[in-house]
Amino acid sequence: MTLDLRADPIALTAALVDIPSVSRDEDAVTAAVETALRTQTSGFEVMRHGNVVLARTDRGLPTRVVLAGHLDTVPIADNVPGRFATENGAEVLYGCGSVDMKSGDAVFLHLAATIADPAHDLTLIFYDCEEIAAEFNGLNVIERELPEWLDADLAILGEPSGGWIEAGCQGTLRVRLSTTGVRAHSARAWLGDNAIHRLAPLLNRLSEYRAREVDIDGCRYREGLSAVRVGGGVSGNVVPDAAEVEVNFRFAPDRSVDQAVEHVREVVAGLDLGFEITDSAAGALPGLTAPAARGLVDAVQAHGSAGVRAKYGWTDVSRFAARGIPAVNFGPGDPNLAHKRDEHVPLTQITAVTDMLRAYLTKDSSDVDRLR
């Protein structure tokens, strides 16, 4: 299968969809991408590492941008090859990976082959095994074995974001809050002290909790403090002496993990509870005030069809953020359609993302004006 990188990225997306590439079975698509980059781009050092294809320019430009996309998909569900259709008056492409994320890959590949006057040095990373356990993730392998390939002023992951810039990510903290009481036979309940009843004031606090909203670099973060599990009880005739609620605090990236713990302690202050941290991960600041990131925001806002918003979940973006590199998700397609049998991408989004990204990556900033 030969990929034509200079063709319309819509056609290139369809060609990529038609190469099956379920996780652990990416040999064919990796070979096609490697061959296309070696034969249809100029100025790139191309390297293969396992089923990861790496390519970079070294033009001595003042800034470097990483464009990274995974080539694998979730299992096929009668949705390969892809097919074009009209959905509510809009042309779309159906197919496994059309959203997550072969349309993003197609935009990156097309731009690598067609940008004549780049504003930034570019690093391309097309990787495998993103849809399965993190230990197999190709970007994880590169971070471990070839970390210098991740260095950049901005990293753009082509994950579906509906053509919006999704930046940063929230942190997460899980705490097990427990009550203790005195066990007794339920026929003599007054001899006991019911640990489940003792959860009442905690659940009142959680019910009444008003989550903070905060703007950081133009992204609005909404925090949340949720009970995710409750448990307790010995048997049907026993007043239980132990009960617990596990809470999950999703916090904006202007708090550290320690500050998040302190906040949860304040929420439950004065209650008689055991407090055990069971899991935590730091958030990532969007970092959109850095100059390289600012340029991308400008290009997107100039286009006028989309903007900037917070990323809530933890994605590969966080790998870069943890290294101090501003990183965003930016790709065509509705992320809510990812992994679905009826996964499909609007063709206009592929074109729009290509245009916005071309404006950002090209030296002549008049491109931006042209897009207004």
Task: List residues binding a second copy (CB under 8 A).
Answer: 170, 172, 174, 185-190, 192, 194, 196-200, 203-204, 206-207, 211, 222, 224-240, 243, 245-246, 248, 250, 279, 312-313
Give the nearer residue to a second copy in terms of CB position, either 59 or 185: 185
Which residue in this structure is represented by tokens 């066990």? 183
Give yes or no: 213 in active site.
no
CA proximity to 18, closest of 104, 76, 63, 86: 76
CA dist 166 to 153, 182, 190, 256, 283, Å?
17, 50, 55, 20, 14
Give the nearer residue to a second copy in terms of CB position, either 47 or 211: 211
CA dihedral 193, 196, 200, 202 (to 10 degrees): 110
CA proximity to 128, closest of 17, 46, 66, 54: 54
Catalytic residue, candidates 72, 121, 334, 343: 72
Catalytic residue, candidates 130, 166, 343, 367: 130
Residue 162 CA, distance from chain mean position: 12
Q: For residues 51 and 30, is the Cβ–Cβ distance under 8 A? A: yes
Q: How far is the CB of 271 from a second copy (least distance, A)?
A: 13
Give the nearer residue to a second copy in terms of CB position, either 76 or 227: 227
Give the nearer residue to a second copy in terms of CB position, either 252 or 308: 252
Going by the DSSP 8-state scheme, the letter that residue 362 receives in this structure is B
**Cis status of the peptide bond prior to 356, with omega within 30 of 0:** no
What is the Cα–Cα distance from 329 to 335, expressed in whole angstroms?
A: 11
In sequence order, the 6+-apart residues with CB closer than 8 A to the CB of 46 are 34, 37, 38, 53, 54, 55
Q: How far is the CB of 311 from a second copy (least distance, A)?
A: 9
* Residue-wise DSSP of 164-197: SEEE-B-EEEEEEEEEE-B-EEGGGGGGSB-TTG
Q: How far is the CB of 117 from a second copy (least distance, A)?
A: 40
Residue 136 host element (H or E): none
CB count in 10 Å sphere of residue 61: 14
Give the nearer residue to a second copy in terms of CB position, either 83 or 183: 183
Give the nearer residue to a second copy in terms of CB position, either 46 or 227: 227
Q: How far is the CB of 112 from a second copy (least distance, A)?
A: 33
CA dist 24 to 58, 75, 160, Å?
31, 11, 21
Give yes or no: 215 in active site.
no
Q: How far is the CB of 241 from a second copy (least distance, A)?
A: 12
Give the nearer residue to a second copy in terms of CB position, either 87 or 213: 213
Q: How far is the CB of 135 from a second copy (least distance, A)?
A: 19
- Sign of the dihedral through C-alpha 30, 32, 35, 39: negative
Residue 334 CA, distance from chain mean position: 13
Going by the DSSP 8-state scheme, the letter that residue 100 receives in this structure is I
Q: How far is the CB of 256 from a second copy (least distance, A)?
A: 18
- The residues that are catalytic are 72, 130
